[in-house]
Amino acid sequence: MRQSLFFSKTRREAPRDEVAKNAQLLIRAGYVHKEMAGVYDFLPLGLRTLKKIENIIREEMNAIGGQEVLLSSLQDPAPWQASGRWDDTVMDVWFKTRLHHGEAFHQGSELGLANTHEEPMVRMMKHHIASHKDLPQYVYQFQTKFRNEVRAKSGVMRTREFVMKDLYSFSRDEREFRAFYEQVAAAYLKVFARCGLGAWTFRTFASGGSFSKFSDEFQTVCEAGEDVIYVDEEKRIAVNEEVYRDEILREIGLEKARLQKKKAVEVGNIFPLGTKYSTALGLTYKNEEGENVPVYMGSYGIGPARVMGTIAERYADEKGLVWPLSVAPFALHLVRLGEEEGVRECADALYTRLQKGGMEVLYDDRPHLHAGEKLSDSDLLGIPCRLVVGNRGIADGVVEWVERQTGSVRQLPIEEAASLLLDPDAGVMPKI
Ligand code: ATP
Ligand code: MG
């Protein structure tokens, strides 16, 4: 993509009310636009990264048998009333709305804006699950949630409208559920590792609410986090502060463990639901003995934008964003310094060749910008690798390759540059 065609611009300053580092950088780099507190638009660069994260999640959910759907954001109160969660004192993040006066609606005129999907998902699955032969089922979506969050000071990590990957499992019994729950936990660790957060992300014991003693969170150690966990980085075990009590440490055999207190971001969470929603909404199946029994459930969430914000927080340096290759909007930033014909020809040719070779290249072909401006924009954007084409290098027959994260520099002969960059075994581009 040619940067001269971009509508989004880099900016020196983020909005004054923006306190989170992730949002300040994402706004300055032109990845997102702030609509209002807790509400962001994704611009082309930001959307590319968000979609890369979504695709990593999608691949891992498909690999464990997930089937993708898309449920509506407008929600009928009926199933929520059946579970008791329509009540604002029970569910305190609701955004609710009303139909126009006079519209016929069997529950009155109120509607909910989705903040999660257990109830409509269960009601929908009642049309598809009747017998033990219909189970197990694993259904997921990338779907917009609305939450009336009290705090919205963490940039894209806590917003009032966001896409969530939510998966729901429908199993015959607890044993079958548990086996899948562990598969999801393993898939989550793969997701966070593929997103570059593996070293700092821990499966963490957390409170399970009313129907299960524990749930599991996936917490990424990060100064910008809103949660506190106790973690043994060597043994890779962690406990959420909410459940950090001596008797629990004894029960999970952790009392000898040396746990350190750390701030962390909850990037994902998996939750045993038991038969709470299936009982409330009548989702039962006929077992092999012919009895009707409630379906055993779990729910599993990840917020791709929260993951994106966490990556921004963990990798950014004083010059700007830094993306791991797996989630970067482009693999390579081709930066042309100078307007001389030789420079243009060389940069254009490299751009064409690299694109033909399947590389995702952002080409800074913008004329009339100083070298310093282009290079600091490139630092701000955080694309993992940069290739600089300039007069001086061309005179010596080389282009300059720079790795954004480490700053390491290599001179590549112009003639060989494209093939070196396109060859995954040449040791120039990092591997995903
Ligand atoms: P938190 O305790 O941080 O509010 P939660 O317990 O409400 O999170 P869930 O309802 O389980 O989270 O949502 C599943 C996932 O969705 C979370 O692990 C997180 O990645 C993401 N998520 C939750 N709330 C938000 C939000 N307001 N903005 C962005 N992502 C969110
Ligand atoms: Mg919440």
Pairing of strands 137-146, 67-68: parallel
Residue in the structure block whose two tokens are 């129907």: 211
Query: What is the C-alpha to C-alpha distance for residues 335 and 379, in angstroms, rounded to an integer?
Result: 11
Nearest CA to ligand 1 atom 13: 301
Q: Identify the pLDDT of residue 258.
A: 80
Query: For residue 384, is the peptide bond before it cis, meaning its omega torsion is within 30 degrees of 0?
Result: no
Alpha-carbon gap, residue 201 to 206, rounded angstroms: 14
What average pLDDT score do residues 47-68 get?
Answer: 98
- In the chain, the percentage of residues whose pLDDT exceeds 90 is 88
Q: For 18-37, how does the pLDDT look when each residue is reduced to its tens digit (9 = 90+)?
A: 999 999 999 999 999 999 99
pLDDT at 214: 82
Helix, coil or strand: residue 399: strand
Asked whether residue 102 carries a pLDDT value surpassing 80, the answer given is no
Place of tokens 């300039």: 390
266 Cα: distance to centroid of ligand 1 (angstroms)? 7
| Domain 332-422 class in CATH | alpha beta
**Which SS3 state, helix, strand or coil, does residue 22 take?**
helix
Ligand 2 center to 60 CA (angstroms): 24
- How far does residue 267's CA lie from ligand 1's centre (Å)? 7
pLDDT tier, 210 (very low <50, low <70, confident <90, very high otherwise): low
List C-alpha distances in Å: 65 to 62, 68, 119, 138, 248: 5, 10, 22, 7, 33
Q: Residue 230 belongs to what H/E stretch?
A: strand 227-232
Length, in residues, of the chain? 432
* Phi and psi at residue 340, to the nearest 5°: -60, 155
CB atoms within 10 A of CB 12: 7
Examine the pLDDT at 311 and tell me if it is beyond 90.
yes
How far is the centre of ligand 1, averaged over its atoms, from the C-alpha of 252 (Å)? 25
Q: Is the pLDDT of residue 246 over 90?
A: no
CA distance 106 to 115: 22
Q: Which amino acid is at 199?
A: A
Ligand closest to 145 (CA) is: 1
Atom 9 of ligand 1: nearest residue by CA position: 301
105 has pLDDT over 70: no
The DSSP-derived string for 154-189 is SGGGS-SEEEEEEEEEEESSHHHHHHHHHHHHHHHH
- Minimal CA–CA distance to 217: which of 251, 246, 250, 241? 241
Q: 371 C-alpha to center of ligand 1: Å?
A: 42
Binding pocket residue ranges, ligand 1, CB within 6 Å? 116, 147, 149, 158-159, 162, 164, 266-269, 301-303, 305-306
DSSP 47-85: HHHHHHHHHHHHHHHHHTT-EE----SEE-HHHHHHHT-
- The closest ligand to the CA of 115 turns out to be 1
Name the more confident of 98 and 154.
154
| Atom number, ligand 1, closest to the C-alpha of residue 152 | 27
Residue 194: pLDDT above 80? yes
| CA of 92 relative to ligand 2 center, distance in Å | 10
Between the CA of 303 and the centroid of ligand 1 the distance, in Å, is 6
pLDDT number for residue 237? 87
Closest alpha carbon to 139 in 65, 218, 74, 72: 65
Ligand 1, from 61, 165, 306, 313: best to mutate by most atoms within 8 Å of Cβ?
Answer: 306
Ligand 1, atom 1, lies closest to the CA of 266
What proportion of the chain, given as a percentage, has pLDDT over 70? 95
Q: What's the rounded Cα separation, in Å, for the pair 422 and 54?
A: 25
What's the CA-to-centroid distance between 302 and ligand 1, angstroms? 7
Query: For position 255, what pLDDT does the model report?
Result: 67
Ligand lying closest to the C-alpha of residue 306: 1
- The CATH 3.40.50.800 domain(s) of the chain lie at 332-422
Is the Cβ–Cβ distance between 399 and 350 less than 8 Å? yes
| Calpha distance 432→421 (Å, rounded) | 14
- Nearest atom of ligand 1 to the alpha carbon of 116: 10
Q: What is the location of CATH 3.30.930.10 in the chain?
A: 3-73+114-315
* pLDDT band at 244; cut points 50, 70, 90: confident
For 77-98, the pLDDT digits (tens) are: 999 999 999 999 999 999 999 8
**C-alpha 108 to ligand 1 mean position (Å):** 30
Residue 120: per-residue pLDDT? 98
Which ligand sits nearest to residue 160's alpha carbon?
1
Are 34 and 404 in contact by the 8 Å Cβ rule? The answer is no
Q: What is the pLDDT of residue 243?
A: 85
The string of DSSP letters for 85-100 reads -SSTTTSTT-EEEEPP
In this structure, which CATH number among 1.10.275.10, 3.30.930.10, 3.40.50.10240, 3.30.70.260 belongs to the domain 3-73+114-315?
3.30.930.10
Q: Could you give phi then psi for residue 276, rounded to 5 degrees?
A: -55, -55
Closest residue by CA, ligand 1 atom 25:
158
Predicted confidence at residue 9, as pLDDT, reads 92
The residue nearest atom 20 of ligand 1, judged by CA position, is 303
Tokens of 202: 């821990």
132 pLDDT above the threshold of 60: yes
Work out which ligand 1 atom sits closest to the CA atom of 158: 28
Distance CA 337, CA 401 (A): 13
The closest ligand to the CA of 227 turns out to be 1
53: CA distance to ligand 2 center in Å? 20
Tokens of 185: 């936990």
Does the pLDDT value for residue 377 go beyond 60? yes
Mean pLDDT (whole number) for 236-257? 78
Distance 313 CA to ligand 2 centre (A): 20
**Mean confidence (pLDDT) of the chain:** 95
DSSP 249-285: HHHTT-TTS--EEEEEEEEEEEEEEETHHHHHHT-EE
Q: Quick check: 223 pLDDT over 90?
A: yes
User: Closest Cα to atom 26, ligand 1: which residue?
Assistant: 158
- Tell me which of 266, 299, 311 to substitute to probe ligand 1's pocket, judged by most ligand atoms within 8 Å of the beta carbon: 266
Mean pLDDT throughout 171-198? 98
Task: Tell me which of 164, 207, 222 to substitute to probe ligand 1's pocket, judged by most ligand atoms within 8 Å of the beta carbon.
Answer: 164
